[in-house]
Every structure is written in structure tokens, then in C-alpha cells.
């Protein structure tokens, strides 16, 4: 059976609605209920207070397709984009939730029924993990569902025990993997080769069972809850018989349109995948009210945009291209997300502005980097160089690190920090002793504006003037 992403999303929500779940629309990428969280990074985030018992709703089962962002913060997949078949910065998480209603047995039965009954996935391609100590889940999978025990593995705390924080709700997880076949490298969950892309995690079932106390003890919750999450793009890859998320309908459309806008025919180029990923995170962030800036969420957005612009330049893009891809994204996702369509202009303008700004310094920064690479001894880019690219040419540190990685190099992060601290001190001294604005004006007139750069990830915006450029 072949299904589009849109059909899978709808099939999932309809399946759980039919099982008495309230359909809840996706919340914003900016968590409304948790100032400590950078972005909504899972389907359960908007329900956090319900799980904690601080908020009551008139339903105790819910289902949603939640937009999620994992770039920065506790979950950061930015460095995976372009390298794995399964990670995005922005993705949709399909979820079903029980607030003190059903527990392990139903959660497992529902998941199995949806995968093998509705989507009709071959059972022998599904692998399951449970938490080492969770005999209850193990027995449900082995004895009630009938998964052969050689396809069930017991996994430790790192991957199979979930916690909301240092204290509070927590519990074991059970994850479902799909075997994409032996033409892809990788091993089953729990083996050293599991990080390959052959066995791909598609669904995580979290059983909130305990309340962790400040002293570390686990107190059983009076009403255990369920939180599950399945990546829409990953299950779409399975349903469309492709192995990488980037080969599914939605991404192929974005990749083709990006190639056309940029004027390349290298459809398998990694840079096109990165751009297709980044247009989603950037557009949805702006739709949800974030603007590129030098701090917090705005700086995450700026970093992603600049990465995309650099990838466009690698593909030979002439002038701005990134913002032109918004129309394509709206065509793909506007029906499911009317807020995206409504904000199309705002998104395009913000992206175009940022692209033009960075475009002014990008080529110059790249040529400085290339000169340095030609002379580099060893395999670490000096902190001073990383800082110069950052400070004068607007290259966020992670962008330079990514470029270094492509060449098998790393960057001297400590050296970069040192250079940054020194710069900060100089700035502080300058402000302590006052600034002669007449002098600044004079030098500004005879120099060329190089665009805004970042003094630090969390600092104010400064204008940089460089003499004689
Ligand atoms: P992985 O181990 O592959 O990084 P995860 O264990 O970090 O995934 P969870 O936190 O369990 O993922 O999230 C639930 C589901 O959301 C995953 O099973 C997967 O289908 C999907 N998912 C997680 N991260 C991403 C991502 N970066 N891009 C696309 N889908 C994702
Ligand atoms: Mg992960
Ligand atoms: Mg995992
Ligand atoms: Mg997981």
C-alpha cells in the first residue's frame, strides 16, 4: 500500500479518534506553558500540565500531529541533518495520549493494530525494544501480540527510560523499529551497529508510571499515563517504500523546487536535502513568531538560515534563493497548516532580508576560510579564525564547524571562546571609558558597512565597520 504523508497523518488521527481520542490541533513551536524549553520538541509538550495534573481537560485521551523542532536545547538534531536518512530539524510527531486512562496493554495493542492492521506493514519487518526491567511490556509484546522474542530487545536507561525532568513524571519506553532491508548498513536495536540506517526507529511509546522524588526514589503514579510519538516522515518513508525520509513525496517536491530555483540538476546532492529540511524549520519558526536575531530562539533561526544560504552557495546559487522556496512549502503543507499559508509574506520577507544581509559577507568569509585551509597544518581550525569568521563575516560557530567537518576537520572551540571573551572585555573597557562618537562617525564615513555580526550568541547587535575594504 502506498500512502502520501497527508493520507498517513489523517489515517493516524482518524484511527485514534475512532478509539475515543480527542483530536487536538498542533500547538506552536514556541511552548506556551514552559519558559525553560526552547522549542516544542515532542507531541507531549502541549500536554505537560495535563500529565502533571495541574491542568484538567474534558477528555482523557488525545491524539495530535504536532509540529516539532529539534535544533538547540536538549534535543538537537541539527548536526544530523544531511548525514542520516532519518533526522530533520523540523518534523511532525503523530501521537496518542492517555491521561490516567489506558496504559501499557492498550498502548501496545493500538500501535500494533495501526501498523499492521491499518498500514498493513509486514510483521516480520518490525522490531521492538523494551526497558531492561519492564517485564510487563516484554510479556505483552511476546505473549499477547506474539512478536518472536528474537525481535524484542531489552534496552537500558539511556534510550528506554523517559523523564520529564530531574524530578516528576517518568517511566519506561518501548520503541518500534522498521527493518529497511539489507541493502542498507545497520544493525538491530541494542547492537553496536544500531546507529546505521537499516533499522529505523519509527515509534516511541512512553509509559509514565512513576513520580521521581527529589531524593531520587520512584513513587508509583496513582494514575499512570501514556505518551507516544511517531515521526510522520519516517513512517511515510516506510509506506512509500523508500529508505530515506528525504525521498518521500513532500521532500522530493521541495528538493525538486529548490533545484529549479537554484539552477542545479544534482538532485541527489546533500545540500539540497539540507535546504529542504531548513526551509521547513525556518518558515515554521517565523510563522510562529520568531525573527532572526542574535539571541535565544532568534539566534537558532539565524543559524539555520545561514546554514541553508551557505548550502545554496555550494550549489552555485546566484543571489537570493531561499525565500523563494516558501511558496513550494506552502503548496506542500499549507492545507494542513493554514497558519503557514496566512504568514507566507511575513516569512518570505524575513528570509529575504536575512539572506541579503548574510549574502554580503558570505563569499568574502568563504574565501578567507579557503585561504586558511590551504595553509592549515593539522586537522583543527584555529579559534582565532573561527572567531574572525564569526565576528566579521557573520558565520555562526556551528556553521564553521559544519564546514570543517565536511573536510574531516574540527574547530578549536576553546580558542574561539577565548577570542570571544577577549573581544567582550575590549567592548566593556570601551564602554567604561566612553566612546568618542565623533571619531566613530568619521571612521564610519570612510569605511564600508559589512553587515551585522554577532559579538556573542546572546549579545546585542553591533555594526562593524572595516577600514579600506
Ligand atoms: P532517534 O533515536 O532516531 O534520534 P529519538 O529516540 O530521539 O529518535 P524520540 O524522542 O523517541 O526520538 O521521538 C519519537 C519519534 O519521533 C521517533 O521515534 C521518530 O519517529 C521521531 N523523530 C525523533 N527525532 C526526529 C527527527 N529529528 N526527525 C524526524 N523524526 C524524528
Ligand atoms: Mg534522537
Ligand atoms: Mg532513539
Ligand atoms: Mg526514541
Mean pLDDT in residue range 399-405: 96
Quick check: 182 and 198 in contact, CB under 8 A? yes
CA distance 31 to 39: 6
**From CA 378, how far away is CA 376, in angstroms rounded?**
6
Predicted ipTM?
A: 0.99
Number of neighbouring beta carbons within 10 Å of residue 444: 13
Q: Give the distance from CA 282 to its chain's centroid.
A: 11
pLDDT band per the 50, 70, 90 thresholds, residue 61: very high
Residue ranges of alpha helices (H) inside 113-239 are: 135-139, 157-160, 232-239
**Position of cell 531561499?**
322
Give the SS3 label for residue 242.
coil
All residues at 6 or more sequence positions from 291 whose CB lies less than 8 Å from its CB, including other chains: 298, 301, 350
Tell me which residue has its CA closest to atom 27 in ligand 1.
87
Residue ranges with CB less than 5 Å from ion ligand 4: 204
Alpha helices in 151-230 (DSSP H): 157-160
Residue 75 CA: nearest ligand 1 atom is 7
Predicted local distance difference test score (pLDDT) of residue 459: 28
Shortest-distance ligand to the CA of residue 84: 1
Indicate if the pLDDT at residue 43 is higher than 60.
Answer: yes
Note the pTM of the prediction, 2 decimals: 0.90
pLDDT per residue as tens digits for the range 411-440: 999 999 999 999 889 888 877 765 555 555
| Mean pLDDT, residues 54-79 | 93
pLDDT at residue number 464: 28
Mean pLDDT of 374-392: 96
Q: Which residue's CA lies nearest to atom 14 of ligand 1?
A: 229
Residue that wins the pLDDT comparison between 164 and 365? 365
231 within ligand 1 shell (Cβ under 6 A): yes
**Ligand 2 centroid from CA 190, angstroms:** 15
pLDDT average, residue stretch 163-181: 93
- Model confidence at 462: pLDDT above 50: no
* 15-25 confidence digits (pLDDT tens): 999 999 999 99
Q: Is the pLDDT of residue 443 over 80?
A: no
CA 166, 170, 172, 174 dihedral sign is negative
pLDDT at 224 over 60: yes
Tell me the C-alpha distance between 175 and 141, whole Å. Answer: 11
CA–CA distance from 262 to each of 223, 228, 248, 266, 307 (Å)?
54, 39, 21, 11, 15
Report the percentage of the chain scoring pLDDT > 70: 92
Answer whether residue 160 shows pLDDT above 70. yes
CA atoms within 13 A on the CB side of 160: 20
What is the model's pLDDT at position 434? 55
Compute how many other C-beta atoms are within 10 angstroms of the C-beta atom of residue 166.
Answer: 9
E strand or H helix at 206, and its extent? strand 199-212
Position in ligand 1 atom list of the atom nearest CA 234: 20
Q: What angle do CA 187, 189, 191 make, to 5 degrees?
A: 60
Nearest to 283, CA basis, from 325, 331, 234, 236: 325
Helices (H), 315-469: 326-333, 338-342, 344-375, 383-393, 397-406, 413-432, 437-445
Give the model's confidence band at 52: pLDDT under 50 very low, under 70 low, under 90 confident, else very high.
Answer: confident
Predicted pLDDT at 435: 52
Q: What gap in Å lies between CA 127 and CA 88, rounded to an integer? A: 23
Q: How many CB atoms lie within 10 A of CB 136?
A: 17
Pocket lining: 229 vs ligand 1, CB cutoff 6 Å? yes
For residues 86 and 221, the answer to whether their CB atoms sit within 8 Å is no
Whole-angstrom distance, CA of residue 406 vs CA of residue 368: 17
The closest of 168, 93, 106 to 140, measured between CA atoms, is 106
**Residues of the chain above pLDDT 90, percent:** 82
436 three-class SS? coil
**pLDDT exceeds cutoff 50 at 453:** no
Which residue's entry shows cell 532580508?
353
Ligand 1, closest atom to CA 80? Answer: 27
CA distances from 329 to 157, 213, 254, 332 (A): 38, 45, 7, 5
- The candidate with the shortest Cα–Cα distance to 365, out of 335, 308, 403, 331, is 403
Amino acid at each position: 500500500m502506498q500512502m502520501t504523508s497527508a493520507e498517513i497523518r489523517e489515517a493516524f488521527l482518524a484511527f485514534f479518534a475512532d478509539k475515543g481520542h480527542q483530536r487536538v490541533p498542533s500547538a506552536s513551536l514556541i511552548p506556551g506553558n514552559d519558559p525553560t524549553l526552547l522549542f516544542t520538541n515532542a507531541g507531549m509538550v502541549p500536554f505537560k500540565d495535563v500529565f502533571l495534573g495541574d491542568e484538567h481537560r474534558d477528555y482523557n485521551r488525545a491524539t495530535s500531529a504536532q509540529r516539532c523542532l529539534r535544533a538547540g536545547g536538549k534535543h538537537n538534531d541539527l548536526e544530523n541533518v544531511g548525514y542520516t536518512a532519518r533526522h530533520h530539524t523540523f518534523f511532525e510527531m503523530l501521537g496518542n495520549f492517555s491521561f490516567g486512562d489506558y496504559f501499557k496493554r492498550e498502548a501496545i495493542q493500538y500501535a500494533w493494530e495501526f501498523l499492521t492492521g491499518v498500514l498493513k506493514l509486514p510483521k516480520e519487518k518490525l522490531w521492538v525494544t523494551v526497558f531492561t526491567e519492564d517485564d510487563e511490556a516484554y510479556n505483552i509484546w511476546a505473549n499477547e501480540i506474539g512478536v518472536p522474542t528474537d525481535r524484542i530487545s531489552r534496552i537500558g536507561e539511556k534510550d528506554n527510560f523517559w523523564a520529564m525532568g530531574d524530578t516528576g513524571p517518568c517511566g519506561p519506553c518501548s520503541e518500534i523499529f522498521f527493518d529497511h532491508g539489507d541493502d542498507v548498513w545497520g544493525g538491530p536495536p541494542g547492537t553496536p551497529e544500531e546507529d546505521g540506517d537499516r533499522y529505523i526507529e519509527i515509534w516511541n511509546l512512553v509509559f509514565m508510571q512513576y513520580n521521581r522524588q527529589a531524593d531520587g526514589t520512584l513513587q508509583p503514579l496513582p494514575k499512570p499515563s501514556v505518551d507516544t510519538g511517531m515521526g510522520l516522515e519516517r513512517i511515510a518513508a516506510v509506506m512509500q517504500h523508500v529508505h530515506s525520509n528525504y525521498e518521500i513525496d513532500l521532500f522530493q517536491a521541495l528538493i525538486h523546487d529548490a533545484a529549479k530555483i537554484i539552477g542545479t540538476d544534482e538532485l541527489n546532492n546533500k545540500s539540497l536535502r539540507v535546504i529542504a529540511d531548513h526551509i521547513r524549520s525556518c518558515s515554521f519558526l517565523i510563522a510562529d513568531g520568531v525573527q532572526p536575531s542574535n539571541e535565544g530562539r532568534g539566534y537558532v533561526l539565524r543559524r539555520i538560515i545561514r546554514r541553508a544560504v551557505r548550502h545554496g552557495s555550494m550549489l552555485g546559487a546566484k543571489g537570493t534563493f531561499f525565500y523563494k522556496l516558501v511558496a513550494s512549502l506552502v503548496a506542500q503543507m499549507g492545507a494542513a497548516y493554514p497558519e503557514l499559508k496566512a504568514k507566507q509574506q511575513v516569512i518570505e520577507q524575513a528570509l529575504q532580508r536575512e539572506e541579503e544581509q548574510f549574502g554580503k559577507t558570505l563569499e568574502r568569509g568563504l574565501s578567507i576560510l579557503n585561504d586558511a585551509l590551504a595553509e592549515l597544518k593539522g586537522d583543527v581550525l584555529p579559534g582565532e579564525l573561527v572567531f574572525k569568521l564569526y565576528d566579521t563575516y557573520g558565520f555562526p560557530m556551528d556553521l564553521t564547524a559544519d564546514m570543517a567537518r565536511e573536510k574531516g576537520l574540527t574547530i578549536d572551540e576553546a580558542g574561539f571562546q577565548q577570542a570571544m571573551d577577549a573581544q567582550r572585555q575590549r567592548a566593556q573597557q570601551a564602554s567604561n571609558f566612553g566612546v568618542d562618537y565623533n571619531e566613530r562617525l568619521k571612521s564610519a564615513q570612510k569605511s564600508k558597512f559589512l553587515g551585522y555580526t554577532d559579538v556573542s550568541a546572546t549579545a546585542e547587535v553591533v555594526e562593524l565597520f572595516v577600514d579600506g575594504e
